[in-house]
Structure 1
Amino acid sequence: MGKKILAKSSEYGEETLIQHTRNALLVFKSLKDAYPEVVEICDDEKFYEYLFVTVFLHDFGKAAEGFQKMLKEGNPWGYRHEIISAGFISCLPYSEDVKKDIALAIITHHKDLYELQESYSTLTTPGKDNYIKKLKELEGNIKYLQFMIDKVPEWSKEFLEYEIRLKQIQSIEEIEDAFHFAVKEYLNAYEDKKIKNDKRKLFLGGFLTACDHLSSASQEEIVKAISDMKNIFKFESYKDMQLKAMNTKGSAILIAPTGYGKTEASLLWSDFNQNESKGKRVFYLLPYTASINAMYNRLKNSFGDEKVALLHGKALYFLYKEFTKSGEDYFDVVNMARPKYDLSKKIFKPYKVLTPFQILKYFFGVTGFEQHIGEMTGGLFIVDEVHSYDPHTTALIIETLKYLKENYKAEVLIMSATLPIFLKELFMKELNINCLIEPCREELKNIARHRVSIIDGDVFSNIGKIIKDIKENKKVLVVCNTVDRAQKVYNELKDYTNEKALLHSRFILKDRERIEKSLDKVQLLVGTQAIEVSLDIDFDVLYTESAPIDALIQRFGRVNRKGYKGISPVYIFSQGSCEDKFVYKNQKVVSKTLELLSKYDMLSEDLIQNLVNEVYKDGYIDKDYEEFLKAKDSFRNVVSQLYPFIENKYLKEEFYELFDNREVVPYIFEEEYINKIKNKEYFEAAGYVVGISQGRYIALKKQGLIEDKGYDVDFVYCEYDKDLGLLIDKPYDNVFTT
């Protein structure tokens, strides 16, 4: 075999090429076991054989002397090992089409084709000369590679369960110029819009990347799902709805009241829809960061840390804080949190709790989309609180799930406590769902937790009634539609109890985290829509500004959550603020909600569903319908431009335009933020960031209250209070003065 050839070298030690290749093949075997569906989806019974040789050859180019010298001495090599590695397709006994797919997967397992073409194309004389020069660096180590090729019969028997052989390489002259052989034709076809978007290319590229990344992270296999979900949820008896879910094969819609055991039902459904190897990935989608964090902790406690991953825009910060303990060194904590986050992004853990945007982004060509779409193959998607999304996002979710169902054998469970008939029928039609799971009507008629009252006036004209309940030691929840309103209400009430909190979207991350941790201890909570979804809180009485019926039902669900308190009062103010029309643009829905609720006293769960159906009987209308159709067409156009091995920067830009959010740092934290950045304590710096809408950002900038100092975020010159959050209506008087 000759001298030792390295694949990796770091402060943690060295790994030889043969060790790394074998470790990557261990991951390959676990992927093969977990994803048997891929063979049928690709319509190619030899797919896993092709993937085996792709993984086997992917790092052969690292045997070049210049690459070895770079690993040992740290001097840049100035070339890409992937281009050299792909040349070993000349060993393969396959058709040209198959060899081209394998070559493309190997060439792009670190960078996309256009990026490589710019600096490493062999289609020009200088590029060809440079390629030949680098290729000759293999000559001194060719015996090592010959030894590896001789391992193929043994390793194929171990990892494929049957033996294959590759043609032995006698000299470097036999090695193919894979860039010329495969890339030229593929890019020409792409630019001429004649490219064939077959799935074999996507899976070869995506699964090779997974094998390489996981083996580099010292992982030998992907984690399988829970072997027996019923053992986790050891109920004395199951609700009828849960029994239906745990015996439903294929996609379904589940509608049940808050606190009725939907989460357990959905996970039992996922267990019944697993494949034999328990390899299917389960994606639990929720709309808000707070609810995702709560669900992540809940599943982690039930299933174990090694099986549950967290993904949202602030996930790395959340994991960093999870590891942070008093007195620990910042960089030690980062070194614990980052590997956990990195594994969360890979095909590794079987349960992922995330936002729909973490799924959507890969259909807009965000880096690594081949691996992540591959991961979704055969996936089980639980879409919770599905009523919470606007028409545009709902359309994107529907089209994404439809694409995954039709092309990648995914199955879907749509869940909600309050799903209007029009949305239910829309999901059933678009996603070809025939199964509806819900408690029987008679059972729902017997469940009543709330007595609803519409009270004249707004929150301020009824402040005395709220104070009276606080003084009587009731746990009081007050929900407003805007942050400004919630801040003013909190100021009116805060002196009447020591256990109080305000919760909304305009707190810096540090304070938001502190407040959420305190919620189970507060007597008074004033909040906005931030309290509506999945926070595990339970109050005695609710006072709320008017909102659409589904939003109100979610607010009601934070009171008498389990129904142990008999019947609890919920009060809705007949008047809101002039800003409400910007929050709920369809004010007809809000008016209809108030009109219907004013006719009832006790709210049974059966009645609630009837009210939801009545309010939304016309479905999406006017601008809502236009937005819905526009988003559907947009997604179809996006997917039609998605091709393996090529990152489309225009699609990526289109994805990031979906977000109406800008991150800023309040001026009082400017010095601390800058110091943290200078010390490279980036996660500590992130704790000072607060999000505001794009419209609010533009308005503040016009007032001269936003300053760009060359950091990733700008600074906002408005007052900030740790208990009230960012005070938009209180600009700092000495802006930009020294």
Structure 2
Amino acid sequence: MYLAKPKQTYDEHIYAAYAAWKEITSAKHALIDEIAESLHVSSRRFLESSLLTVVLHDIGKMCVPFQEMMQVVLSGKVPDYQNNYRHELASFPYVLLGSAGLDKRDGKLCPLQGLEGLVVLGHHKSLTGKLSSFERESQKQGKLSWAPGGVEHALTLASDIFAKEGFCFPSVPQNETEFPFRLVSGYMVGALGKLYGKVSEHEPDRMAFALLKAILHYADWYGSAGESISYSPEMTAESLENDLRARCAEQNKAFSGFSAFQKKCGDCKTDLIAVAPTGSGKTEGSLLWAQNGFSAGKKLIYLLPTMVTANSLFLRLEAYFAGQKVGLTHSTAVLFKESELDNYLVDFGDVLRQKTFMYPVTVSTVDQLLFSGYNKGHWTLTESNAANSMIVIDEIHAYDPWTLGLICSSISHFSKFGARFMIMSATMPGYLKNLLGEYLPDAEIIEDTELLAKSRNHFSVHQGLIESALPDIRKAVASGKKVLVVVNSVFACQELARVLEDLSPICYHSKFIFDDRNKKEKFILEQGRSQDPCLVVATQVVEVSLDIDFDILFTECAPPDALVQRAGRVNRARRKSGTEVRIYRPSETSKKIYESLDAGLLERTMSVVLGEKADLTEADLISIVERVYEGCSVSDNQDFRQASDQYRKTQEKLMDVLDNPYSEEEEEVTRKVTYLQVPVIPLCFKEEVLALIPRERRRFEVKMPQWYVKKHRSETDGILFCDMEYDEMYGAGYLDESEIQLLV
């Protein structure tokens, strides 16, 4: 009896993987057709190669070192892993021979000979040009020994499964490969090495590799777990409407059906660019648009600019897709689920599935998609799941030119393989609309004209700094209002909160450890649901985050699109009267934050808003954005141009198919920052953190500028601590007076 796992025979595992393969290839049939067409081969030819990787991916487990290790595990002992031999390395020669047989008999799948072998070689470990994942095997000089009859048995089983699909298994010699590493290293230098610097025109080959490997992952993982694959969500326009009607009835709210804007979104069968003010029901409109693809087996991927917005939307979509798997992925997604959801047991074996968009619905920050272009992480799964999906990108205005360049490159790439995009924003100036139109030439543009014509707040512009508003802030709180104060730096936020300490303000910015930030967000939401007055002093993190309805906003001047987002925190439901937005002159620190790429941006904004009327409509606000950015062209921006070309450079370096071993390449980032920030743990938590398991330590991380960390760092047991002021009310601060003003 040959074993694939301690409690699963080889035959059981291969047949389970084959069953999962049938499920996933059925779910991905449209993408398979797309890629086969781009390769100028039949879908059947692609499926032959895919099935080859599945039936032979574990043939290397027939080697003696692996079978002996399984017996040691079965006996209850801990094996000496140095005696093992990586089974995927041992499988490679047989897959390579099978690939050559298919190419000779049925024609080449793509120009790269042996693509299927690379898929199997890298299905557990990172696949790099130096084969660093197989260093142990590179040192083994002796011949690899095989279990008697094992290779013959595995090939017979593979042939039988091919016959079940109506395929003919290629001729693969039953000789036992004695030096697999030697063959692999020769292939990397030979067949693959010839592609170096020549891959820019092979986008279909890259997607073929990604899909072959993704299908193998699905088959291997789901086959091992004995689970059925849930690929695409279930929702129709009728079910969504019934759900909304029932929710409104529970809350004693009237529901009069979908708005004209939402209906237009639901009627759109192409890519969509949507412009609608806060409170217009964009989320429901996006679901109406997305459900058009569900019947065709497409997933829903919802991308947002921040973790807070992703967390909030995740909770909403979990309710809309009750009983279906909804994923959440960003750097602290697991911590959020553990802290937020009652009785939520995080299945850490499923975390990877969420990171790679394997769930029917996934809410994520945009970074998770963008990193796949750098071949980072399990990029093949991310790419193949994003291809042929319904992808919503919200708050498109929130991205800098570098990130926008990567987004546009991704739109161009995934659109070729069946993905549809809905791009949304409350403010979308003409230059941005035109840019997106270049990448989505067939997109329909839908604007919520009904709400654009309405005003919901009284605006006033003040020449003084925001500190001059302190008496009015106190008066507003005393009168029972819900008051929001937004400034442009963490230091200013902390200082204002301290000055107003007697009013019990909530100080909210990015420099809190996870638990403290999470408590603040919950408290702010609770305050929003109550009738009591409250005071929140925040930085720009509040622009696209918490769903709370304030009565009055006091804000430092910021770029016009940011001002519109801040104003959207006031009278969100448009049911109040007498609500206000007061804008104050920006500080010098504000200019350092916002004008590194556009000198004079804040002065232009102040100049435009000073000349405006008090009761601005949503259309007026968009007009302000247009006028401030008049003459701007993102496509001429250096960061945008460089980002648009960065994926090509990275993929050429990695010959399209290799994994990226570089973790800190300066240009392989999804966000450009003026100064690098490093996650560290405040030194005051040292004793508490040292007693925790590694995963729990992330709760105590806060990001601090690299220059500050270099001055105040210390390391214990591999954990990076940083000496700083830290307070659960006000967050992280610098130690020295000379440094404090630099806290942005």
Bin for the TM-score computed over the shorter chain: 0.7 to 0.9
The residue type equivalent to 1:114 in the other structure is: G
Residue matched to 2:687: 671
Aligned pairs (5 A) from 1:35-50: 35=28, 36-43=30-37, 44-45=41-42, 46-50=45-49
Alpha-carbon contact 1:23-1:215 (below 8 Å) kept: yes
Q: Percent identity?
A: 28
* 1:220 maps onto 2:228 in alignment: yes
Q: What residue number does 1:106 align with? A: 120
1:553 to 556, 560, 564: 564
Q: State how far apart, in whole Å, the 2-side matches of 1:496 and 1:292 are.
A: 30
Q: How does 1:321-336 map to 2 (within 5 A)?
A: 321-322=339-340, 336=346
- Check conservation: 1:391, 1:620, Cα contact below 8 A: no
Residues 423, 619 of structure 1: 8 Å contact kept: no
Aligned with residue 535 of structure 1, among 543, 546, 554: 546
The 1:466–1:411 alpha-carbon spacing in structure 2 relative to 1, beyond 3 Å, is: same
Q: Number of matched residues?
A: 687
Which amino acid letter does the alignment assign opposite residue 280 of structure 2? Answer: Y
Query: How far apart are residue 120 of structure 1 and its match?
Result: 7.2
Shift in CA distance, 652/223, structure 1 to aligned 2, threshold 3 Å: farther
Q: Determine if the alignment matches structure 1 residue 496 to structure 2 residue 503.
A: yes
Structure 1 residue corresponding to 2:208, chosen from 184, 200, 207: 200
1:120-131 equivalence runs, <5 A: 130=142
Alignment of 1:417 with 2:426, yes or no, is yes
Shift in Å, 1:656 = 4.6
Give 2:575's match in structure 1, choosing from 552, 561, 564: 564
Q: CA deviation at 1:431?
A: 3.1
Q: Deviations over 1:561-588 (max 9, x none)?
A: 1101134111111x33221112111353
Task: Give structure 1 stretches of 5+ with no counterpart.
Answer: 157-162, 326-332, 734-738
Q: Which residue of 2 aligns with 1:152?
A: 161
Instruction: Show the counterpart of 1:380.
Output: 390
Whether the 8 Å CA contact 1:146–1:168 is kept in 2: the answer is: no
- SS of alignment partner, residue 518 of structure 1: helix
Give the 3 Å change call, closer, same or farther, for CA 221–247 of structure 1 in structure 2: same
Query: Pick from 520, 527, 530: which aligns with 2:525?
Result: 520
Q: 1:430 pairs with 429, 432, 439, which one?
A: 439
- Alpha-carbon separation, structure 2, partners of 1:699 and 1:336: 35
Amino acid at match of 2:626: N
Query: Given that residues 364 and 639 in structure 1 are in contact (C-alpha distance below 8 angstroms), is that contact kept between their aligned partners in structure 2?
Result: yes
SS in 1 for 2:506: strand
Shift of 1:605: 1.4
Between the aligned partners of 1:393 and 1:91, the Cα distance in structure 2 is: 42
Structure 1 pair 210/183, CA: closer, same or farther in 2 (3 Å)?
A: farther
Aligned mates of 2:523, 2:702 — CA distance in 1: 20
Aligned to 1:330: none
* Alpha-carbon distance in structure 1 between the residues aligned to 2:421 and 2:271: 5
The Cα offsets for residues 108-151 of structure 1, whole Å up to 9 and x where unpaired, read as 222315354785799x9x87x64xx32x4132435643552453
Instruction: Return the alpha-carbon distance in structure 2 between the equivalents of residues 155 and 367 of structure 1.
Output: 34
Relative to the length of structure 1, the TM-score reads 0.86
> Relative to structure 1, is the Cα distance of residues 15 and 652 closer, same or farther in structure 2, using a 3 angstrom cutoff?
farther
Displacement, 1:377? Answer: 1.6
2:269, 2:292 within 8 Å by CA — same for their partners in 1?
yes
Q: Cα gap change, 1:118/1:613 in structure 2, threshold over 3 Å: closer, same or farther?
A: closer
Q: Which among 471, 476, 481 is matched to residue 469 of structure 1?
A: 476
TM-score using structure 2 length: 0.85
Q: Distance in 1 between matches of 2:554 and 2:437?
A: 35
Partner Cα separation in structure 1 for residue 116 and residue 628 of structure 2: 55
Q: Does 1:450 align with 2:457?
A: yes
1:231 aligns with 2:245: no
Tell me by how many angstroms 1:706 deviates: 3.0
Structure 2 match to 1:728: 734
- 1:381 is paired with a residue of what secondary structure? strand
Residues 1:247 and 2:256 aligned together: no
TM-aligned CA deviation for residue 72 of structure 1: 2.3
Alignment of 1:231-630 (within 5 A): 231-234=239-242, 236-274=256-294, 276=296, 278=297, 280-304=298-322, 306-322=324-340, 336-346=346-356, 348-406=358-416, 408-440=417-449, 443-445=451-453, 447-497=454-504, 500-522=505-527, 523-573=534-584, 575-585=585-595, 586=598, 588-598=600-610, 599-620=612-633, 625-630=637-642
Of 698, 706, 711, which residue of structure 1 is paired with 2:707? 698
Question: For structure 1, which segment, 415-424 or 517-526, has the greater mean C-alpha deviation from structure 2 after superposition?
Answer: 517-526
Residues 529-563 of structure 1 show CA distances to partners (whole Å, capped at 9, x for unaligned) of: 11110411111111111111111111111111110
Indicate conservation of the 8 Å contact 2:485/2:536, yes or no.
yes
Task: Report the 3-state secondary structure (helix = DSSP H, G, I; strand = E; otherwise coil) of the residue aligned with 1:707.
Answer: strand
Find the residue that maps to 1:250 and give its secondary structure.
coil
**Match of 1:20?**
13
- Give the partner amino acid of 1:172: N
Deviates more, 1:453-462 or 1:642-651: 642-651
- Give the letter for the 2:11 counterpart: I
Letter of the structure 2 residue corresponding to residue 223 of structure 1: Y
Structure 1's 647 and 342: CA in aligned 2 closer, same or farther, altered over 3 A?
A: closer
2:742 equivalent in structure 1: none
Cα offset for 1:435?
Answer: 1.4
Q: Name the CA shift for 1:399/1:336 in 2 (closer, same or farther; >3 Å).
A: closer
- Give secondary structure in 2 for the equivalent of 1:543: strand
2:234–2:294 contact (8 Å) kept in structure 1: no
Give 1:478 shift: 0.7
Displacement of 1:603 in angstroms is 1.5
Shift of residue 239 of structure 1? 1.4
Residue 185 and residue 306 in structure 1: after superposition, are their counterparts in 2 closer, same or farther (change >3 A)? farther
Q: Is the 8 A contact 1:138 1:172 kept in 2?
A: no
* Cα-to-partner distance string for 1:595-652 (whole Å, 9 max, x where unaligned): 2322210021121222221121122489x82222232233343344453542243586
Q: Which has the higher mean CA deviation after the structures are superposed, 535-544 or 345-354?
A: 345-354
Query: Contact 1:282–1:379 at 8 Å: present in 2 too?
Result: yes
Task: Quote how far apart the aligned CAs of 1:730 are.
Answer: 5.4
Question: Which residue number corresponds to residue 64 of structure 1?
Answer: 63
Q: Pick from 636, 644, 649: which aligns with 1:632?
A: 644
Match in the other structure for 2:252: none
Report if the CA contact (8 A) 1:366-1:652 is conserved.
Answer: no
Cα RMSD (Å) of the superposition? 3.0
Letter paired with 1:616: Y
Structure 1 counterpart of 2:3, which letter? L
CA contact (8 A) 2:358 2:385 kept: no
Contact 2:304 2:393 in 1 (8 A): yes
- Kindly indicate whether residue 25 of structure 2 is the aligned counterpart of residue 32 of structure 1: yes
- Alignment partners' CA distance in 1, 2:670 and 2:430: 31
Distance 1:686 1:515 in 2: 18
1:653-664 aligned within 5 A: 653=665, 654-656=667-669, 658=671, 660-664=676-680
- Give the Cα separation in 1 of the matches to 2:509 and 2:148: 64
- The CA deviation string for residues 193-237 of structure 1, in whole angstroms up to 9 with x for no partner, is 479842433322232133223333443314322242431243542
Q: d(CA) in 2 for partners of 1:91 and 1:188?
A: 21
Deviation at 1:257, TM superposition (A): 0.5
Q: Secondary structure of the residue that 1:460 maps to in structure 2?
A: helix
Distance 2:264 2:634 in 1: 34
Q: 1:346 to 1:80 in 2, by over 3 A?
A: same
1:736 alignment partner in structure 2: none
CA shift for structure 1 position 483: 0.7
User: How far apart, in 2, do the equivalents of 1:254 and 1:168 lie?
Assistant: 54
Deviation of 1:306 (Å):
3.8
- The question of whether the paired residues in 1 share the 8 Å contact of 2:280 and 2:451 is answered with no
Query: Which sits farther off after the overlay, 113-122 or 205-214?
Result: 113-122
